Amino acid sequence: MIKNLSKFKNRLAFVAFLASALSVNAQPAPGQQAIPGMPSGPQLDPEEIIETYGFIVGMQSGVRDFELSAEEFEVFLKGLKRAQSGEAIPSDLNNVMPQLQAYLGQRQAEVAERKGAENREKAEEFFSELKEKEGVESTSEGLFYEIEKQGDGETPDDDSMVRLHYEGRLLDGTVFDSSYERNEPAEFSLTNVIAGMRMGVQQIQEGGKITLYIPADLAYGDQGPPSIPPGSALVFEVELIEVMEAPAQQQVMPQFTPTP
């Protein structure tokens, strides 16, 4: 949901910062001439640069989240063209902003509800087949799990501080977070994680490995972070390294985000 115009400015400022931080000191390719004032590096065609700028603006605006029809997208482009040509805004800003917030909020909620229903239907089929898989167990709450190695150390409790490696995936195999890829185990309290993770980690001991199949209601439901679509069931590969002594101030498990 778009809260205010400054959000767009902040997003574009962040993109500019990233572009500056990621610039490379490479020489122009043979036959290419550096554009005065441009950062050094392989020079792109101006059309490609402008197209990339349009892509960034589109991604940062979140327009994809509203699933505009072809006709609605043409109206959206009409507004962009007015801005590009320097024309006045179509409506009084003070009047239109509350209505814009309400309308886009409703559209986003409708899209989320539809996607959530679709993902839950896919998850239902997935869990139906999973029930027949040998070695898979389940809890009364609906968590499914497969123990690869039980381990022989301490078993964590609901509020234990743990150190572990994990990889989180969507049902289509998309990895949205992985401590393995960061090459750094995570440390956090089980009081601060999704219910399915908290229940699942307690099925093994230190040194154990487990695969968790977590339905949406034991994960993020329909209100997950951007990397996790509404109504998504999740699959976690978890390796419990250590049950730690809880510090005075327990750490919160970071939000799952796509791993670069």
Is 217 among the residues known to form the active site? Answer: no
Is 180 among the residues known to form the active site? Answer: no
31 shares a domain with 102:
yes
Placement of tokens 């999740």 in the chain: 234
The conformational region for residue 36 under phi > 0 = left, psi -120 to 50 = alpha, else beta, is beta
Say if CB 152 and CB 243 are below 8 A apart: no
Position 257 in a domain: no
Position 117 in a domain: no
Give the residue numbers spanning the domain of 236.
Answer: 137-244
Position 47 in a domain: yes
Residue 93: which of 83, 81, 85, 108 has the closest Cα? 83
87 shares a domain with 144:
no
Q: H helices of 62-178, where?
A: 70-85, 93-130
Write the CB contacts of 61 (distance below 8 Å, at least 6 apart in sequence): 8, 11
Write the CB contacts of 8 (distance below 8 Å, at least 6 apart in sequence): 2, 60, 61
Write the DSSP symbol of residue 118: H
224 shares a domain with 144:
yes
> Cα dist. 10→17, 23, 62 in Å?
10, 20, 13
In whole angstroms, give the CA distance from residue 231 to residue 111.
12
Is 220 among the residues known to form the active site? Answer: yes
Placement of tokens 């572009």 in the chain: 19
Give me the catalytic one of 144, 166, 213, 256.
Answer: 166
Give me the catalytic one of 222, 236, 241, 256.
Answer: 236
Q: How many CB atoms lie within 10 A of CB 252?
A: 11
**What domain count does the chain have?**
2
88 shares a domain with 168:
no
Give me the catalytic one of 144, 145, 188, 194.
Answer: 194
pLDDT tens string, the chain, 260 residues long: the values are 233 344 444 444 544 444 443 343 434 444 444 455 556 667 788 888 888 888 888 888 778 778 888 898 888 888 888 888 888 887 788 888 888 889 888 998 898 899 999 999 999 999 999 999 999 999 999 999 999 999 999 999 999 999 999 999 999 999 999 999 999 999 999 999 999 999 999 999 999 999 999 999 999 998 888 889 999 999 999 999 999 987 655 455 555 544 44
Global pTM value: 0.67
233 shares a domain with 141:
yes
Give me the catalytic one of 66, 144, 145, 177.
Answer: 177
| CATH number (domain holding residue 143) | 3.10.50.40
Is 213 among the residues known to form the active site? Answer: no
pLDDT attached to residue 95: 84
Position 234 in a domain: yes
Give me the catalytic one of 145, 213, 220, 256.
Answer: 220
